[in-house]
């Protein structure tokens, strides 16, 4: 009973501090909210729109005798006498207008200059022999892609569109080659019709070219329609950030609430507690229980609030509860562990600024590297060196709708971290007050 | 009430490395009395009280509080005790009522009994009308009163008060001294530590004088004063040549001790009226002028001076 009395007293003190509450609950939601607004533009129409990528295109393609196509059915509906014009026509089509804004440049230098002076984010330079090389089975048709190195999302979208297009064109090329081989003919008009048919089937007539061109990972239990899909894309960015923030700040809360032991020592209330007929075990247990309960409240509030405010889908209930438990146990035990090495609360500043920030950022590194799959894989490996990394990974698995078993592995490792941290922390504190 | 001593201290010792904080202290406090431990800062008073509260484990010796050994029966000792620490040990972000309620629970009080006792204590410390204000907003004196109130919650048989009047205004100090007397009147045993001689003199039935970790004298106020033979203490300041004058003063008939500290020369004498003219004359002969004279009738400070050769100062 006294254990609970001590824990409730500590919680009352924690939640009575406006700063502490803001830090525990406000900051994670605020940071996520900033990302939400940054990516979501929700203040306007309520939907999700990525900012348009400005693309400067220098189409230098001079066409070729072997390439003829009547482009009535290709996206954009413009006449295209060369492959270069076909590319430009597709990029200027209505279907692409939500994603990119095309400006035509007279020369390769002008297109690159547009990127250099930041009037465009990407320059696409179609070489003079593009159609020729495309039509020649022994040659590779290459488009130059020139981007602002400081930007990632816009150029990545553009690259994705082009890759998709060029993949399609590779299919066209194979189809044309097969046709020409089988027809044993140099009939270029027929080859043009093959291109036309291929485009019609594979790309131009697609109901939703954006969806074809962009790979969007959907959170569990969602359906695909345009509006929801836009929202899901936003959540695929904001969800992991919120998860990461929750883990990051849960560990801060663990450390700062566990610091109440040192604080009480300095306030002289801890020695006074030791003069009451309350055992040292009960006093320490009460203090530790308050750390655990405070993080419980923090995580529960953040999960519910993030779902309510941002619509974040955390995953199946069993998975979410499992990972919430993992976060709570590892954050509270880590807090006890690191505080057991401190002599006083003044050293806590160094701790908060150093250990928690570094381990927290390491734990979230896979979220920051989401943009690049290879970096994300490496980031995830590095993040698993710290307890925050396992908590983040478990949450991400849950959010991605992975089976409970994959979440439970992370929970198990989090619990193992917790046991070690808790045992060392309690042993050190017991020794300190013996 | 039985004849069992409230506190029985037997040859307590405690060292921190080379610092021998308490060196074989023994004394006994009867039930219902106020016992003061008097001594300068660093004398070992707080270390002694910390051992008696089971906060520090003695290196040697033992003590019994209401018959419970501080070594073997700590729960019994802690249940019988109320401790008022030297520093204010309260939760400043909780109200006075919340503080008292929490500490009451730590002393095993619950439910209606706890609530009633909290109200009683709020009345005792005179803070019932401000009970729901956070302690952090209180004045120093009010905090001191709550600090004492916490120790009274479970109606302990013995209460330790470790320098409870340090750093507070005269009015609050008066309140605290009065409350100590009231506690005695209610049958509590009070172990009071102080370095203020007047407090010990005013409050105590028995006084133990500590210095350098040792109990150098113990008894009633009168018994201790007799140690200096009812001598009067005369504090003098000189404009110059104190070093030359002091040996000459030691030769004056009726003077038993001459010492100097912080520019003040202290003389112990049988009769100040007889001695003073000779002191002035001797000073004049040594080309020194007495600029102030302060005469103290025999008291604990004189006892401390007599026993240690030093004045009892902060």
- For B218-258, the pLDDT digits (tens) are 999 888 887 777 778 899 998 877 788 899 999 998 888 89
The C-alpha atoms of residue B30 and residue A409 are separated, in whole angstroms, by 65
In DSSP terms, B193 is beta-bridged to B37, B162
Q: Max alpha carbon distance in chain A (Å)?
A: 102
> CA A29 → CA A35, A295, A312, distances in Å?
10, 15, 12
A280 touches chain B (CB under 8 A): no
Helices (H) and strands (E) in chain B, counts: 11, 14
Per-residue pLDDT, averaged over A390-412, amounts to 85
When mean pLDDT is compared across A230-244, A317-331, B196-210, the lowest value belongs to A230-244
Chain B closest CA to A343's CA: distance in Å? 18
For residue A214, the model assigns a pLDDT of 35
Per-residue pLDDT, averaged over B152-173, amounts to 87
pLDDT per residue over B86-134, tens digit each?
A: 889 999 999 999 999 999 999 999 999 999 999 999 998 888 999 999 9
For residue A212, the model assigns a pLDDT of 41
Is 50 exceeded by the pLDDT of residue B314?
Answer: no
- In this complex, do A275 and B55 lie within 8 Å of one another by their Cβ atoms? yes
Cβ contacts from A onto B, under 8 A: 54
Chain A closest CA to B99's CA: distance in Å? 9
Helices (H) and strands (E) in chain A, counts: 20, 4
pLDDT per residue over B273-305, tens digit each?
A: 889 999 999 999 888 899 999 988 777 877 887
Is 70 exceeded by the pLDDT of residue A206?
Answer: no
**Considering chain B, what percentage of its residues have pLDDT values greater than 90?**
50
Residue B257 near residue B268, CB atoms below 8 Å: yes
Is 90 exceeded by the pLDDT of residue A237?
Answer: no
- In this complex, do B108 and A275 lie within 8 Å of one another by their Cβ atoms? no
Mean pLDDT, chain B, rounded, equals 89
User: What are B174's two structure tokens?
Assistant: 């008066």
B interface mutation test: which of A269, A278, A280 has the most B CBs within 10 A?
Answer: A269
Burial class (CB in 10 A: 0-12, 13-18, 19+), B71: middle
**Considering chain A, what percentage of its residues have pLDDT values greater than 70?**
73
> Could you give the count of Cα atoms lying within 13 Å of A359 in the half-sphere of its Cβ?
22
The residue whose two tokens read 């605020």 is A30
pLDDT bucket at A79, cuts 50 / 70 / 90 = low
A224 touches chain B (CB under 8 A): no
The C-alpha atoms of residue B105 and residue A273 are separated, in whole angstroms, by 11
B123 touches chain A (CB under 8 A): no
When mean pLDDT is compared across A176-180, A351-355, B187-191, B307-311, the lowest value belongs to A176-180
Q: What is the end-to-end Cα distance of chain B in Å, rounded?
A: 37
For residue A302, the model assigns a pLDDT of 86
Q: In this predicted model, which residue has the larger pLDDT, B297 or A221?
A: B297
All residues of chain A having their beta carbon less than 8 Å from the beta carbon of residue B150 are 272
Which letter does DSSP use for residue B270 in this model? S
**Considering chain A, what percentage of its residues have pLDDT values greater than 90?**
6
Mean pLDDT, chain A, rounded, equals 77
How many residues are present in chain A? Answer: 434
What does the DSSP assignment read for B110-150? -HHHHHHHHHHHHHHTT-GGGTTSBGGGS-HHHHHHHHHHH
What does the DSSP assignment read for A389-424? HHHHHHHHHHHTT--HHHHHHHHHHHHHHHHHHHHH
Q: Helix, strand or coil for residue B295?
A: strand
Chain A closest CA to B79's CA: distance in Å? 6
Q: In this predicted model, which residue has the larger pLDDT, B170 or B132?
A: B132
ipTM: 0.79
The C-alpha atoms of residue B89 and residue A273 are separated, in whole angstroms, by 9
Per-residue pLDDT, averaged over A121-125, amounts to 86
From the list A304, A302, A313, the residue with the least C-alpha distance to A252 is: A302
Comparing CB atoms, the residue among A5, A12, A267 nearest residue B105 is: A5
Is 60 exceeded by the pLDDT of residue A205?
Answer: no
- In this complex, do B89 and A2 lie within 8 Å of one another by their Cβ atoms? no
Comparing CB atoms, the residue among B85, B94, B98 nearest residue A272 is: B85
B interface mutation test: which of A3, A20, A277, A432 has the most B CBs within 10 A?
Answer: A277
The residue whose two tokens read 């204590």 is B121
B107 touches chain A (CB under 8 A): yes
> CA B14 → CA A229, B71, B212, distances in Å?
74, 13, 12
pLDDT bucket at A99, cuts 50 / 70 / 90 = confident
When mean pLDDT is compared across A51-60, A174-183, B164-173, the lowest value belongs to A174-183
User: What are B268's two structure tokens?
Assistant: 């112990």
Per-residue pLDDT, averaged over B13-41, amounts to 90
A272 touches chain B (CB under 8 A): yes
- In this complex, do B106 and A16 lie within 8 Å of one another by their Cβ atoms? no
For residue A37, the model assigns a pLDDT of 74
Is 70 exceeded by the pLDDT of residue A151?
Answer: no
∠ CA B41-B47-B51, nearest 5°, is: 160
> CA A303 → CA A429, B16, B66, B240, distances in Å?
32, 51, 54, 80
Per-residue pLDDT, averaged over A94-102, amounts to 78
How many residues are present in chain B? Answer: 314
- In this complex, do A272 and B150 lie within 8 Å of one another by their Cβ atoms? yes
By 3-state DSSP, what share of chain A in percent is helix, strand and coil, each rounded to 5?
70, 5, 25
Is 60 exceeded by the pLDDT of residue A284?
Answer: yes
Give this prediction's pTM: 0.65
Is 50 exceeded by the pLDDT of residue A223?
Answer: no
Comparing CB atoms, the residue among B92, B94, B106 nearest residue A276 is: B106
Comparing CB atoms, the residue among A2, A12, A267 nearest residue B89 is: A267
Is 90 exceeded by the pLDDT of residue A310?
Answer: no
Buried b (16+ CB within 10 A) or exposed e, A336-367: bbbbbebeebeebeebeeebbeebbebbbbbb
């Amino acid at each position: 009973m006294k254990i609970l009395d001590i824990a409730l007293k500590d919680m009352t003190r924690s939640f009575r501090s406006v700063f502490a509450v803001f830090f525990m609950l406000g900051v994670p939601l605020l940071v996520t909210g900033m990302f939400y607004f940054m990516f979501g533009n929700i203040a306007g129409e309520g939907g999700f729109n990525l900012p348009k990528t400005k693309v400067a295109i220098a189409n230098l393609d001079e066409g070729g005798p072997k390439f003829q196509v009547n482009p009535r059915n290709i996206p954009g509906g413009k006449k295209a006498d060369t492959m270069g014009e076909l590319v430009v026509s597709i990029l200027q089509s209505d279907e692409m207008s939500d994603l990119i804004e095309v400006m035509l440049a007279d020369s390769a230098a002008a297109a690159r200059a547009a990127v250099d002076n930041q009037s465009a984010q990407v320059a696409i330079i179609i070489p003079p022999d593009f159609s020729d090389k495309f039509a020649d089975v022994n040659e590779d048709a290459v488009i130059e892609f020139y981007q602002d190195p400081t930007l990632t999302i816009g150029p990545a979208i553009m690259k994705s569109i082009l890759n998709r297009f060029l993949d399609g064109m590779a299919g066209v090329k194979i189809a044309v080659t097969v046709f020409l081989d089988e027809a044993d003919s140099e009939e270029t008009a027929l080859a043009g019709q093959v291109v036309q048919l291929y485009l019609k089937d594979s790309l131009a007539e697609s109901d939703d070219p954006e969806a074809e061109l962009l790979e969007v990972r959907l959170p569990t239990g969602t359906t695909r329609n345009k509006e929801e899909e836009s929202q899901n894309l936003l959540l695929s960015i904001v969800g992991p950030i919120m998860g990461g923030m929750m883990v990051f700040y849960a560990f801060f809360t663990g450390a700062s609430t566990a610091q109440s032991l040192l604080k009480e020592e300095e306030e002289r209330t801890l020695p006074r507690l030791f003069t009451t007929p309350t055992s040292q075990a009960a006093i320490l247990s009460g203090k530790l229980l308050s750390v655990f309960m405070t993080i419980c409240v923090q995580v529960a509030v953040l999960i519910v609030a993030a779902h309510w405010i941002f619509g974040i889908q955390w995953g199946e209930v069993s998975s979410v509860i499992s990972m919430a438990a993992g976060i709570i146990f590892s954050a509270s035990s880590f807090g006890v562990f690191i505080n057991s090495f401190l002599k006083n609360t003044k050293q806590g500043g160094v701790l908060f600024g150093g250990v928690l920030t570094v381990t927290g950022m390491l734990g979230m590194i896979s979220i920051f590297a989401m943009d690049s799959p290879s970096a994300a894989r490496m980031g995830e490996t590095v993040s698993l060196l710290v307890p925050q990394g396992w908590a983040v990974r478990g949450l991400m698995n849950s959010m991605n709708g992975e089976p409970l078993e994959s979440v439970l592995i992370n929970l198990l490792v989090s619990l193992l971290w917790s046991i070690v941290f808790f045992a060392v922390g309690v042993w050190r504190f017991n020794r300190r007050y013996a | 009430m039985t004849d069992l001593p409230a506190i029985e201290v037997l040859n307590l010792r405690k060292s921190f490395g080379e610092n021998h904080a308490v060196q074989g202290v023994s004394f006994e406090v009867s039930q219902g009395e106020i016992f003061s431990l008097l001594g300068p800062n660093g004398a070992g008073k707080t270390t002694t009280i910390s051992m008696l509260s089971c906060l520090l484990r003695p290196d040697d010796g033992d003590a019994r509080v209401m018959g419970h050994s501080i070594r073997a029966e700590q729960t019994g000792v802690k249940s019988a005790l109320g401790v008022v620490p030297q520093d204010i040990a309260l939760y400043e972000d909780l109200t006075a009522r919340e503080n008292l309620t929490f500490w009451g629970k730590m002393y095993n009080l619950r439910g209606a009994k706890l609530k009633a006792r909290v109200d009683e204590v709020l009345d005792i410390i005179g803070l019932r009308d401000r009970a729901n204000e956070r302690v952090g907003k209180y004045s120093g004196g009010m905090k001191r009163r709550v600090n004492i109130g916490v120790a009274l919650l479970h109606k302990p048989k013995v209460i330790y008060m470790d320098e409870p009047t340090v750093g507070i205004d005269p009015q609050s100090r008066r309140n605290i001294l009065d409350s100590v007397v009231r506690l005695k009147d209610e049958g509590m045993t009070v172990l009071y530590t102080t370095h203020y001689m007047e407090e010990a003199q005013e409050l105590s039935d028995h006084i133990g004088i500590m210095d350098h970790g040792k109990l150098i004298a113990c008894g009633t106020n009168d018994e201790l004063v007799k140690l200096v033979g009812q001598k009067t203490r005369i504090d003098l300041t000189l404009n110059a040549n104190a070093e030359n004058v002091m040996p000459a003063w030691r030769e004056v008939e009726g003077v038993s001790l001459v010492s100097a500290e912080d520019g003040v020369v202290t003389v112990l004498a049988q009769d100040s009226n007889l001695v003073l003219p000779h002191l002035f004359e001797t000073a004049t002969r040594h080309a020194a002028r007495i600029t102030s004279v302060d005469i103290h009738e025999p008291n604990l400070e004189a006892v401390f001076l007599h026993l240690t050769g030093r004045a009892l100062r902060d």
